[in-house]
Amino acid sequence: MKTKIIILLSILCLTSCKESNKIERENEPPIYSVESQDEEMNAAILKANETLDDFNSGLINPKAESHALKVKFTNSSGTEHMWVGNIVFKDGKYSGILNNEPEYVKEYRSGDQIEVDPSKISDWMYIENGKLFGGYTIKVLRNRMSEEERKQFDEESDMQID
C-alpha cells in the first residue's frame, strides 16, 4: 500500500508559475500546473505550514504510515513542488527520499536523499487506518478533478479523503 500511495502522490506533484493544466510525461506521472497566485492552493499551503506539528505527531504514531512532505524546489528553469517520502525527523531537521522525477529542477533525481528546509514545505501527509491526514494540496487538486478522474483517483489511492 505504501508504494501505491507514493505513486499516487507523485501523480499529484505540482508546479507553479505555469498555466493551470496537466502536463503529461512519458514513463512519469503527470504534473498538475497551478498558477503561483492561486488563492485556494496558497491557502492549502498555509494550512499545511500552520499544522506541521500534526505531521510531527503522525511521525511518532505507530499506526500512521506513508509519511511524506511536499517540498518547493526552485531554480532558473522554474519551480516544482515534489513529494519527499521515507521522512526522518532528527535533531529538528527533516530528510527523506525524493519521490518524483523533476521536470524543471534538474539538480535532483527521483530516489535522491533530500534534506528538507522547513521553510520550503508546501504540504504534508500520512495515512492512518486508510484515512488521509494533511494532504491539503491533494484535496485542492482532487476537488478540481472531473467526477470520472476523482472516482479513478479514489479507487487507485484507496484512501479515505474528507
The rounded average pLDDT for each run of 10 residues, N- to C-terminus, in the chain (162 residues) is 47 39 64 74 96 97 96 90 95 94 90 96 97 96 92 90 88
pLDDT of the residue at 151? 92
Q: Looking at the 3D structure of the chain, how many domains does it have?
A: 1
Which alpha helices (DSSP H) does 14-90 contain, by range? Answer: 39-50, 52-59
In angstroms, the CA 140 to CA 20 distance is: 13
Residue with cell 500520512: 126
Residue 137 maps to a domain:
yes
In angstroms, the CA 32 to CA 133 distance is: 21
pLDDT of the residue at 103? 86
Residue 158 maps to a domain:
no
Q: Which residues of 131-154 are buried (b: 16+ CB within 10 A; e: fewer)?
A: ebbbbbbbbbbbeebeeeeeeebe
pLDDT of the residue at 19? 35
Domain extent for 115: 2-152
In angstroms, the CA 4 to CA 98 distance is: 15
Is 0.85 surpassed by the pTM of this model?
no
Residue 123 maps to a domain:
yes
Residue 159 maps to a domain:
no
pLDDT of the residue at 100? 86
pLDDT of the residue at 66? 95
pLDDT of the residue at 25? 60
Residue 80 maps to a domain:
yes
Residue 161 maps to a domain:
no
Strand partners, 114: 96
CB neighbours of 119 closer than 8 A, spacing ≥ 6?
Answer: none
Residue 17 maps to a domain:
yes
Residue with cell 476523482: 150
Residue 111 maps to a domain:
yes
Please provide the size of the chain in residues: 162
Does residue 53 sit in helix, strand or coil?
A: helix
